[in-house]
Amino acid sequence: MNSHAAEMVRAPVRPSTAPSALPRLAVDGVSKRWGRRRSLLVLDDVDVELGASQLVAIVGENGAGKTTFLRILSGLICPDRGTVRVDGLDPERNRREYQRRIGFLAAASTGLYARLNVRDHIDFWARIALVPPERRAVRCLETMAVFDLLEIASRRVDRISMGQRQRLRLAMAFLHEPNLLLLDEPYNSLDGRSAALLASALRASRSRGGTAVVCYALGQEPTGDLAFDTTYILQDGRLRQT
Amino acid sequence: MTALSINLGAVLALVRRDAKIFISYRFRFATQLVSTFFGLVLFYYLSRIVGHNVFHTSNEYFAFAVIGLTVMEVLGATLAALPLSLRQELVAGTFERLVLSPFGAIGAVASMMVFPFLLSAVSALITLTLATLVFGMNLAWSTAAYAIPVALLGAAAFAPFSLLIAASVLSVKQAGAGAGFFVTGISLIGGFFFPVSLLPSWIRWASDVQPFTPALQLLRHLLVGTPATSSAWLTVAKLAGFAVVLVPASLVVLHRAIRFAQRRGTIIEY
């Protein structure tokens, strides 16, 4: 990390939204079925409530519905039944404010433009995430520094490694300082050092009130120095605390 | 900082993204120019064999076809480029990011039309320059400047068709292929390369119920002095009417298509 970037990282981050009696995340009776005849019940009346500064893991076997659940929480897809609220906001009625509060990392390695470089991605996301212009440059530098992307900032995405791509995708999830991070299999392709960077970024987010939900497959416990407040297991469409 | 300028920043970010991706393919623009030049050569020689019962001279047909070719480029860019790039975004998983951005999918999809339009405008300018300098087309210099606002108005009237095709891409995924048929169909009934008066009477009505033909006829009048078939102001009013009615309607349809795909869960499919 160069000295300028280090200085940027030390700069105070934007305070979280004012303390509120509302839960950070409130999921009430969410159900979702897939399949041609909606025969496959993936989520069955799921309830969960999380406060600020919580770090939560959701584990489950492949196909258990973790990705579906995170996609519903992110507002990408709608549940068949039930409601989701983030800081009391509805993903449809308060779409823009809702999305300002969400940082989403999709599973797999998609969502990047092969012909753009790392800096282009970060800048692009900062703009469509509507980060205020006076904070944009600082936030871009801070986030690239946090995920150790400064050295590869000018390299095209199709010319960097899978682990570097994953760090870039993580940086885009954290960039706009969301209140709720939804990370689907974030440890994919990350080495030990990168996992430690992620753990550090999650701790920093928590220190300013951010809550994070991290999904990973059973038996693939994350590496890195990170302790979850709560771990849930998703099985047979139900979410239960371990 | 107003909300307007922040949103404008997001629009510009999408334009800049598209421009950077386009420029990253070094020879793309050059090959486009070469194909434009070949198009001009083709129509130049075709114009030499055109009979003089509809057009008074070969040069008159050449000018007629050049404007058709130019507007066709703009149409292709605005109508066919968006569904194609939207489909690429779906496959690459980048559309998901746009949906989840505070700027939002509707703003993003609409913004994705800007760069192809700007590029086609530059390409159209080069086509007209080549046609004038190399092939001796007579540009109507006294009225040519008026073509700029008319072209912008025409683009606003064309844009809803692009948004509707984009909405169908989100709903049925493969609808992008329909854009090609649409552009070809419009080029046949719109009078791009031959006058609509040559069409059979049973199909001629189709030239009156869309914005492409009046925009084309007015641009021809302003750029190469083709006699106007109706009042310029009437054409402008017609184009404005199409834009005022169809732009909000197409945005509503796009919004519904996105919501439909989110409810069904197909927004993540391709």
pLDDT digits (tens, 9 = 90+) for B40-71: 999 999 998 887 677 888 999 999 999 999 99
Mean pLDDT of chain B: 90
E strand intervals along chain A: 25-34, 40-50, 55-60, 81-86, 102-105, 180-184, 211-217, 230-235, 238-241
Do B104 and A102 count as a contact with CB atoms less than 8 A apart? no
- Give yes or no for B256 touching A (CB within 8 A): no
Which of A28-37, A68-77, B43-52 is modeled with the greatest confidence?
A68-77
Do A110 and B96 count as a contact with CB atoms less than 8 A apart? yes
Chain B residue numbers touching A124 (CB-CB < 8 A): 13-14, 16-17
Please answer whether residues B10 and A124 qualify as being in contact, where contact means their C-beta atoms are separated by less than 8 angstroms: no
**What radius of gyration do chain A's Cα atoms show?**
18
Task: Name which of A125, A132, A156 is nearest B6 (Cβ-Cβ).
Answer: A132
A11 pLDDT higher than 70: no
Would you place residue A224 in the very low, low, confident or very high pLDDT band (cuts 50, 70, 90)?
low
CA distance B120 to chain A (A): 21
Cα B223 from Cα A112, distance rounded (Å): 43
Please answer whether residues B253 and B158 qualify as being in contact, where contact means their C-beta atoms are separated by less than 8 angstroms: no
Q: Among B17-31, B152-166, B191-205, which is the least confidently predicted range? A: B191-205
Please give the pLDDT value at position B76: 82
Triad A27, A30, A36: Cα angle to 5°:
150
Please give the pLDDT value at position B187: 84
- Give yes or no for B138 touching A (CB within 8 A): no
Average pLDDT, integer, range B131-136: 95
For A172, nearest residue in chain B (alpha carbons) = B97
For B99, nearest residue in chain A (alpha carbons) = A76
- pLDDT tens sequence across B70-99: 998 888 877 888 888 898 898 899 999 999
CA distance A129 to chain B (A): 5
A143 pLDDT higher than 80: yes
Interface probe with A: pick from B5, B7, B85, B101, most Cβ of A within 10 Å: B101
Better pLDDT: B212 or A38: B212
**Which secondary-structure segment (H or E) carries A113?**
none
Taking CA atoms, A148 is separated from A42, A140, A152, A196, in Å, by 37, 12, 8, 11
CA A43 to chain centre: 20
Structure tokens at B124: 């159209």
A10 pLDDT higher than 80: no
B37 pLDDT higher than 70: yes
A18 pLDDT higher than 70: no
- pLDDT tens sequence across A100-127: 999 999 988 889 999 999 999 999 999 9
